[in-house]
Structures are given as C-alpha cells and as structure tokens.
Structure 1
Amino acid sequence: MPKIIHSYVRYVDALNKRVGTFAMYLVFMMMGILLFASISRTVFNVPYTWAVEMTQFTMAAYYMLGGGFSLYMGAHVRMDVLYGCWSPKKRATMDLVTVFCLIFYLVVLLAGGISSTAYSLEYGQRNYSAWAPPVAPIKIIMVIGIFLMLLQSIATFFKDLAKVRGVELS
C-alpha cells in the first residue's frame, strides 16, 4: 500500500480513538445531569425543565461521536451466521463488498445532516419544548460524528483491502 494510505489510516484511527475516548466520558456528564435533576426535584422540590433534554442531547453526542471509534474497534454488530466461521481473509473480502453500502449510506446521511444544520443555523431553529434550546449545536456535533465515521469507513476499506492482499495495515 502507498505511504499516503498508511498515513491516512493512522491519522484517522488516531483521530477517532481520541474523539471516541472523549465521547466515553459523556456518559458521566449524562449521569451528573440526571443526578442533579433528581436531587433538585426530590430534595429541594425544584424541577428543571432543561435536564432531561440536555441529557438527550448529551446522549446523541455520545453515540454520534462514538460511531467512528466503535468502527475502529470492530465493535459494530455483525450477523454472525456465517461470518464467524470464515477465515480472516474471507471476512475482509466480504467487508470490502459491504463497506460500499455503509459509505453510500453515510454520504447520504452526511448530505442530509449538512442541509439540516444549515437550515437550523439560517433560521435559528429551536426544539419544541418548554426549554426551547437551539438545535444547531447538536446538529453540528451529529454532522461531525457522521463525517468521522465516514472517514473511518474509508480507513477500514483500506485495512480490509490490505488484508485481502496479505498485508497488515494499521
């Protein structure tokens, strides 16, 4: 494989590893928000309307930013009816075929996300709730997460291609 592909794979793997590690800590942020909301509601009888919605936004950031990392780690769910019985080379061959479906899906999702984010920024779109926060920040985070997963899918394609050729690319 050319040196530029090695560099691309290393860079994208490192980027998704860092972003995914950051995203893992968002679980603690969600727990903190929910704990704060629970204590304020039960002990002080002061409910906060923003707590549940902020937790939902944090959860969306958690799974969108963690998508590329889970692809890097090989943690996505696969149908293991036949896949588990195959050799690593045959698995890589099948992954080469199916990764194009994933890349197509992510490109369409990214285009829709960019369009939706532009709309949110242009019109100041807000969520329909009592708190009514702007939705552009979470949409921007979602577009970043989709883009990182697209980059990781391409890196995975190169890794599988190298594996089919009998070379290890990491």
Structure 2
Amino acid sequence: MPGWAVGYVRAVEALNHRIGRAAMYLLFAIMGILIWSSLTRMADVPALWTMEMAQFTLVAYYLLGAPYAMQLGANVRMDLLYARLGPRAQARLDLLTVFFLLFYLGVMLWGAVDSTAYSLQINERAPSAWRPLLWPIKLVITLAFALMILQAIAYLIRDIAILRGVEIPRPFADEVAR
C-alpha cells in the first residue's frame, strides 16, 4: 500500500480513537445532568435546562462515538453470513457496501452542514423555556458525520489492503472486535 494511504488510515484512526475515548466520558456528564434534574425536582425548583442539555449531550456521546465504534468493529451488522466468511471475502463484501455507507453519510453531512449554516445565520434557538442556541449541537453533528466519512474511507483503504495481501497494523488492536 502507498505510504500516504497507510498514513491516512493511521491519522484518521488515531483522531477517532482520541475523540471516541473522550466522548465516552460524556456518559458521566449525562448522568450528572439527570441527577441534578432529579434533585431540583425533589426540591420543587426544577431546572429548565436539564432535559435538553441531557439530550444534546446524548447526541454528542452517540454521534462522536460512532466512528470509534466503527473502528473497533463494535458496530451492528447483519452477521448471518458475514462472520462465516474469511478476511478476504469480508473485505470484498465491505468494499461493495462501503459505497452505500459513504453515499448515505455524504447526504447526511450535506444536510448537517446546511442546517448548521442556517442555524448560525438566523441565530436559531430551541422552542422551549430555556431557549438554547442550536448551532453548537448542530456543529457537533456535522463534525461527527465528517469523522464518520473519514473512518469509512479508512475502512475502504484497509479492505483494499487486505485484498492486496497487505495488513495495515492496527495501533489499537487490543480493543478491536473484528
């Protein structure tokens, strides 16, 4: 494999590994927000921001963790036949299906960029009592789709390498489920 391809895979996987590991800690933020919500309700002074903030944090947790989950092979796939295939046959099947994934992610990224730009342009706020700005979470969504596309391309390069009989070393091999 060309050096640039191996370098791309390593750089993207290192970036998604760091972001995914950091995003895991958002679960504690969600728990803290929900505990605070319960405490303020019990004190009969409910905080207006807690439910929306928990939702925003959950979106960030879920979407920023998706490229990391894909990298580790922890994503859900229909395993009726796939698991019984050898590595080269799996790579051929992945090579076919990755283009559908890239098309889907491209459409989602296009929509996310458009929605984020609109949100910034009109200073969009949520229609709730708290009325938070929506562009920060939309920016996170846009970033997550971009990272997912980068990871899908890294997967594509790995599959091409497998078909060529080359193994690109996995720096986080102890965590990979595949």
For structure 1, the residue ranges without an aligned partner over 5 or more in a row are none
5 Å matches for 1:5-154?
A: 5-42=5-42, 44-154=43-153
Task: Please give the alpha-carbon distance, in whole angstroms, between the structure 2 residues aligned to 1:95 and 1:82.
Answer: 13
Task: Please give the alpha-carbon distance, in whole angstroms, between the structure 2 residues aligned to 1:132 and 1:155.
Answer: 39
1:14-72 CA distances to partner (integer Å, 9 max, x unpaired)? 00000000100000000001011111211x22101110100000000011111110111
Task: Please give the alpha-carbon distance, in whole angstroms, between the structure 1 residues aligned to 2:66 and 2:59.
Answer: 11
Task: Please give the alpha-carbon distance, in whole angstroms, between the structure 2 residues aligned to 1:157 and 1:137.
Answer: 30
1:101-147 CA distances to partner (integer Å, 9 max, x unpaired)? 00111111111110000000000111111111110000000000000
**Residue 150 (structure 1) shift:** 0.4
Alignment partner of 1:66: what SS?
A: helix
User: Superposition RMSD on alpha carbons, in Å?
Assistant: 0.7
Task: Please give the alpha-carbon distance, in whole angstroms, between the structure 2 residues aligned to 1:47 and 1:31.
Answer: 16
Task: Please give the alpha-carbon distance, in whole angstroms, between the structure 1 residues aligned to 2:39 and 2:111.
Answer: 39
**TM norm structure 1:** 0.97
For structure 2, the residue ranges without an aligned partner over 5 or more in a row are 170-178
Instruction: Name the structure 2 match of 1:164.
Output: 163
Task: Please give the alpha-carbon distance, in whole angstroms, between the structure 2 residues aligned to 1:73 and 1:102.
Answer: 17
How many aligned residue pairs are there? 169
Task: Please give the alpha-carbon distance, in whole angstroms, between the structure 2 residues aligned to 1:84 and 1:140.
Answer: 36
Task: Please give the alpha-carbon distance, in whole angstroms, between the structure 1 residues aligned to 2:131 and 2:94.
Answer: 43
Identity %: 49
Task: Please give the alpha-carbon distance, in whole angstroms, between the structure 2 residues aligned to 1:51 and 1:74.
Answer: 33
Amino acid at match of 1:99: V
Task: Please give the alpha-carbon distance, in whole angstroms, between the structure 2 residues aligned to 1:84 and 1:152.
Answer: 21
**Residue 151 (structure 1) shift:** 0.2
Task: Give runs of ≥4 in structure 1 deviating > 4 Å.
Answer: none
